């Protein structure tokens, strides 16, 4: 019991000390809260002369492709020794020779028939001349017989000669008259005989011309400078008429037909221009618009990026399913001008990008397409704080957005994602001059 009583004063003393410490302790001081700034990259919103541009993709192809076809049947007796796929041939180079025996024999036969007809015409001319001479002789003799008949008829009336002598002279006149009519009939038939011979001669001439053409067609040559795309026959092979012997691709010009969405073209191409049926009234304006287009062809690989300066050629048909318009761009001399390893030729079936650009649309405010967030852009105000502002976009062009209202040139535009983006949040801005430069270059269609 005594021990328990001795503990009580110690407890009271400890509690008193604790109360004293609590009452006399120093209160904690509250440190001021510092606002943290978020680092961001920005550009000054540019206003530039915007060059409208649209791009699409397609495969390269030669401007002309020709099939070398056998127009006469026969056997291939000769063929260019190095005629293989990928070989280059020049205009007029001999490619194939089909046997000529039957064609040459047909020509000789027709020439012989023509000579026979010409001989008949010569003989007919001689016959006409001879018949005309005999007709003149018989006509003169008939006139003499008629005068003699008249004289004897007068003598018979006077009783000087007998009736029998008069009858004999009358028969002589009739015989001469019959001879004259026969010769005249022969002369009348000669023109029709000559026309028949001339018609036969003309028919033979046409057949001979056709035979000579067929003879010429036994030798097949390249119609233009080309690259061999395919060879389907060998020497000694018999071919029928219409057989495709080889396929040649022209090398003077290459084309790329790219599919570009119609809505990308509307920024600089009036919709009526895409119509294939342009009225005569608008033909001059149509030509003027198309002449203002520029085209570039790009080919990107793992080791090399190649650019060919092209030329806009024409618009093709609009795909009814996708709404894309076929844009055909050509490159002259795709082989001879690009023979270095740094710039390879624009070969057949290369998958390329086509960039089509038009005349500048005037001064436009442009921003990166990625800088627009649900219809708003993030700007830096004069206090280096974030300001979210709604913008009205006139149209988009590739990675650009053309702004109609909401920002003005020189505004500081944030060009990176800010998460979270809170109005009036403090920023640490850093100008990205290279990004701004690339944006202006894209707007001006400068690579």
- One domain, residues 222 and 95: yes
pLDDT value at 338 more than 60: no
| pLDDT attached to residue 10 | 64
Percent of the chain with pLDDT over 70: 84
pLDDT value at residue 216: 85
Q: Measured between alpha carbons, how far is 251 from 347 in angstroms, rounded to an integer? A: 9
Question: Is 390 within the bounds of a domain?
Answer: yes
Backbone angles phi, psi at 410, to 5 degrees: 95, -15
My answer on whether omega of the bond before 315 falls inside 30° of 0, hence cis, is: no
The CA distance from 180 to 186, in Å, is 10
How far, in Å, CA of 87 to CA of 242, rounded?
Answer: 24
User: Residue 248 has which token pair?
Assistant: 């040649």
Q: Is the pLDDT of residue 6 over 60?
A: no
The DSSP bridge partners found for residue 199 are none
Q: How many domains does the chain have?
A: 4
- Residue 423 resides in a domain: yes
Token readout for 404 is 């109609």
pLDDT tens track for 64-79: 999 999 988 889 999 9
Answering whether pTM is above 0.75, one says: no
Which of 126-140, 163-177, 179-193, 198-212 shows the lowest per-residue confidence on average (mean pLDDT)?
163-177
Note the pLDDT tens digit of each residue in 186-229. Answer: 888 989 998 998 899 999 999 888 888 888 888 999 999 999 99
Residue 14 lies in a domain: no
Q: Hey, is 422 helix, strand or coil?
A: coil
**443 vs 392: CA distance, rounded Å:** 18
Q: What is the pLDDT of residue 2?
A: 47
> What does the alpha-carbon distance between residue 415 and residue 401 come to, in Å, rounded to a whole number?
13
User: What Cα–Cα distance (Å) separates residue 217 from each residue in 15, 69, 114, 225, 226?
Assistant: 128, 10, 23, 19, 20
Does residue 330 contact residue 254 with C-beta atoms inside 8 Å? yes
With beta carbons less than 8 A apart as the criterion, state whether 58 and 261 touch. no
pLDDT in tens, 140-157: 888 888 888 788 888 877
CA proximity to 45, closest of 413, 401, 439: 413
Instruction: Give residue 62's pLDDT.
Output: 94
Q: What is the CATH number of the domain that holds 373?
A: 2.40.420.20
Rounded CA gap, 248 and 220, in Å?
A: 13
Q: Are residues 270 and 240 in the same domain?
A: no
Instruction: Please name which of 225, 214, 131 lies closest in space to residue 179, comparing C-alpha atoms.
Output: 131
Residues 186, 189: Cα–Cα separation, whole Å:
5
Q: Is 94 left (phi over 0), alpha (psi -120 to 50) or beta?
A: beta
382 backbone dihedrals φ, ψ, rounded to 5°: -70, -20
Helices 163-216 and 101-157 sit at what angle, rounded to 10 degrees? Answer: 170
CA distances from 409 to 358, 360, 393 (A): 24, 18, 15
Same domain? 182 vs 84: no
pLDDT at 366 over 90: yes
Of 101, 82, 99, 104, nearest in space to 246 by CA = 82
Domain boundary among 212, 228, 262: 212
pLDDT at residue 26 above 90? no
pLDDT surpasses 50 at 59: yes
21 belongs to a structural domain: no
235 plus 258 within the same structural domain: no
| 52 has a pLDDT exceeding 50 | yes
Q: Is it the case that residue 251 has pLDDT exceeding 80?
A: yes
Asked if residue 225 and residue 78 are part of one domain, the reply reads yes
Backbone dihedral angles phi then psi of residue 446, each to the nearest 5 degrees: -105, 130
* Calpha distance 201→118 (Å, rounded): 7
Structural domain that includes position 267: 54-59+252-357
């Amino acid at each position: 019991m005594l021990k328990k009583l001795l503990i009580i004063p110690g407890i009271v003393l400890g509690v008193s000390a604790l109360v004293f410490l609590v009452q006399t302790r120093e209160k904690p001081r509250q440190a001021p809260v510092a606002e943290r700034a978020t680092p961001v990259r920005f550009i000054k919103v540019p206003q530039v002369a915007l060059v409208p541009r649209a791009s699409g993709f397609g495969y390269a192809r030669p401007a002309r492709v020709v099939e070398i076809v056998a127009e006469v049947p026969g056997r291939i007796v000769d063929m260019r020794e190095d005629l293989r796929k990928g070989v280059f041939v020049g205009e007029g180079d001999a490619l194939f020779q089909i046997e000529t025996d039957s064609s040459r024999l047909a020509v000789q036969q027709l020439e012989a028939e023509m000579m026979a007809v010409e001989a008949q015409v010569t003989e007919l001319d001689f016959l006409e001349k001879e018949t005309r001479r005999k007709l003149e002789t018989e006509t003169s003799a008939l006139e003499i017989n008629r005068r003699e008949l008249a004289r004897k008829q007068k003598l018979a009336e006077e009783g000087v000669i007998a009736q029998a002598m008069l009858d004999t002279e009358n028969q002589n006149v009739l015989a001469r008259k019959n001879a004259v009519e026969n010769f005249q009939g022969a002369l009348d038939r000669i023109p029709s005989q000559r026309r028949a011979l001339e018609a036969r001669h003309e028919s033979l001439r046409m057949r001979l011309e056709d035979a000579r053409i067929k003879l010429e067609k036994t030798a097949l040559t390249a119609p233009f400078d080309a690259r061999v795309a395919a060879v389907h026959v060998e020497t000694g092979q018999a071919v029928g008429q219409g057989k495709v012997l080889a396929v040649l691709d022209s090398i003077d010009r290459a084309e790329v037909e790219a599919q570009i969405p119609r809505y990308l073209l509307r920024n600089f191409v009036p919709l009526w221009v895409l119509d294939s049926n342009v009225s005569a009234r608008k033909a001059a304006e149509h030509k003027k618009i198309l002449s203002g287009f520029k085209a570039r062809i790009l080919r990107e690989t793992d080791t090399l990026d190649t650019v060919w300066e092209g030329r806009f050629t024409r618009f093709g048909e609009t795909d009814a399913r996708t709404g894309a318009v076929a844009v055909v761009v050509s490159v002259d001399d795709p082989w001879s001008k690009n023979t270095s390893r740094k710039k390879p030729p624009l070969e057949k079936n290369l998958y390329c990008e086509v960039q089509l650009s038009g005349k500048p649309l005037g001064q436009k405010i442009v921003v990166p397409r990625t800088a627009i967030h649900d219809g708003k852009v993030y700007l830096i105000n004069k206090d280096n704080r974030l300001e979210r502002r709604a913008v009205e976009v006139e149209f988009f062009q590739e990675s650009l957005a053309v702004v109609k209202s909401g920002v003005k040139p020189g505004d500081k535009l944030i060009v990176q994602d800010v998460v979270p983006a809170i109005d009036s949040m403090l920023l640490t801005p850093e100008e990205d001059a290279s990004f701004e430069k690339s944006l202006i270059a894209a707007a001006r269609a400068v690579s």
